[in-house]
Amino acid sequence: MEKTVYYKLQADKLPLVQLLNIAIINPPYVHFRRKAEEYIMYYILSGEMCLAEDGREYILKPNDIIILDPSHEHYGTKSTQCKYFYVHFYHEKMIELTDDTKNLQEFLLSNRISSLKSHDNLKYNKGSVSYPEIILPKYHHVSNSAAAVNLMDELGKMRESHHGRLEYHSLKTSCMLMEFFICLSRDMTSGILYRDTSATTRSTYIIYDMLNFFHNHYYEDISGSFLEEKYDCNFDYINRIFKKTTGKTIFVYLNELRIEQAKQLLSNGIYSISNVAEKTGFHDVYYFSKVFKKYAGITPGAYLKQIYSSFN
């Protein structure tokens, strides 16, 4: 069975950037043999880089990314011309793992769906925050052109921050590298979603895209016929798949999302109940109140009174 090497990074610690810049190599230069003290990430901009790490050989081309591990020796295998970003960084809680490719794919897809169907942020419990683990590829090709532009833009801004030397520049650069890692992990997961074209995976992708659409467009008019046309599928069928994946029907999920957003808007104390109703996709304030009570247990007016009383 095919194996995949990847990293698991604990997000409660920021990476510490040591070196960051753009390099250009030309023949007859060959990457020297070394075992670094820190992690090294390369993002290839043009040309080709040929290297090996503990016997695993890589031929890196534009929009390829690799993370080299301080526990392994790496070296060049061929003289080439190449332009690339390099980032040397430390991280206390980052480990290299090897797993069956199928297992990793299933985990990434499950993680994507779990995240999209959740209305929660980071978990806070008795003075502690539960941070997620970020999955990073050992090697990854960024095939989506928009994602490639975004990642290169992030690296460019990171470079400016690292070399700017303004106050807190190191902290800012670390935060930017963590953001880059999140974008990289998302692109890896999206690549898996697009790669398999089987009927089952297509349904999974539709659910993923639908969840993403709801979180960005929950305030719009969304009907069963609209979803059928948007995703070119039968509503009853996709509703069954949606419930199997999320545990809820499409419109139960959508209404829960809308009510969660309504709670946040009401908590701001800026908008009236009728304004909140309209901003969350309800054009009838009486229907909004009915749905709000169904999912929140109380009316919007009673919810506002609770909020105000907590400040007195």
pLDDT digits 0-9 by tens, 225-244: 999 999 999 999 999 999 98
Beta carbons of 81 and 26 less than 8 angstroms apart = yes
Rounded Cα gap, residues 153 and 150, in angstroms: 5
- The percent of residues in the chain predicted with pLDDT above 90, rounded, is 68
> Cα dist. 59→27, 136, 291 in Å?
16, 19, 57
Q: For residue 282, what pLDDT is reported?
A: 94
Q: For residue 146, what pLDDT is reported?
A: 86
Rounded Cα gap, residues 113 and 201, in angstroms: 12
Residue 200 in this model has a pLDDT that exceeds 80 = no
Listed in sequence order, the residues at least 6 apart from 308 whose beta carbon sits closer than 8 Å to its beta carbon are none
Average pLDDT, stretch 191-199? 65
Beta carbons of 53 and 123 less than 8 angstroms apart = no
| Residue 139: strand pairing partners | 66
Q: For residue 5, what pLDDT is reported?
A: 93
Higher pLDDT, 285 or 2: 285
Residue 307 in this model has a pLDDT that exceeds 70 = yes
Higher pLDDT, 132 or 175: 175
Residue 220 is classified by DSSP as S
Residues of the chain with CATH 2.60.120.280: 3-191
pLDDT digits 0-9 by tens, 233-273: 999 999 999 998 888 999 999 999 999 999 999 988 888 99
Residues of the chain with CATH 1.10.10.60: 197-312
pLDDT digits 0-9 by tens, 46-99: 999 999 998 899 999 999 999 999 999 999 999 999 999 999 999 999 999 999
Rounded Cα gap, residues 78 and 76, in angstroms: 6
pLDDT digits 0-9 by tens, 24-41: 999 999 988 999 999 999
Residue among 247, 270, 266 at smallest CA distance from 258: 266
Higher pLDDT, 311 or 44: 44
Out of 85-89, 185-189, 306-310, the most confident range is: 85-89
Rounded Cα gap, residues 187 and 272, in angstroms: 39
Q: For residue 155, what pLDDT is reported?
A: 96
Sign of the four-CA dihedral 54, 56, 58, 64: negative
Q: For residue 45, what pLDDT is reported?
A: 97
Tell me if the pTM is above 0.85: no
Sign of the four-CA dihedral 248, 252, 257, 261: negative
Q: Which two tokens mark 101?
A: 């490719």
The top-level CATH class assigned to 197-312 is mainly alpha
Residue 176 in this model has a pLDDT that exceeds 90 = yes
Confidence of residue 106 (pLDDT cuts 50, 70, 90): confident
Rounded Cα gap, residues 161 and 171, in angstroms: 9
Chain centre distance of CA 208: 13
Residue 265 is classified by DSSP as H
State which CATH number among 3.40.50.720, 2.60.120.280, 3.30.540.10, 2.40.30.10 fits the domain covering 3-191.
Answer: 2.60.120.280
Residue with tokens 């810049």: 21
Rounded Cα gap, residues 244 and 253, in angstroms: 12
Q: For residue 102, what pLDDT is reported?
A: 85
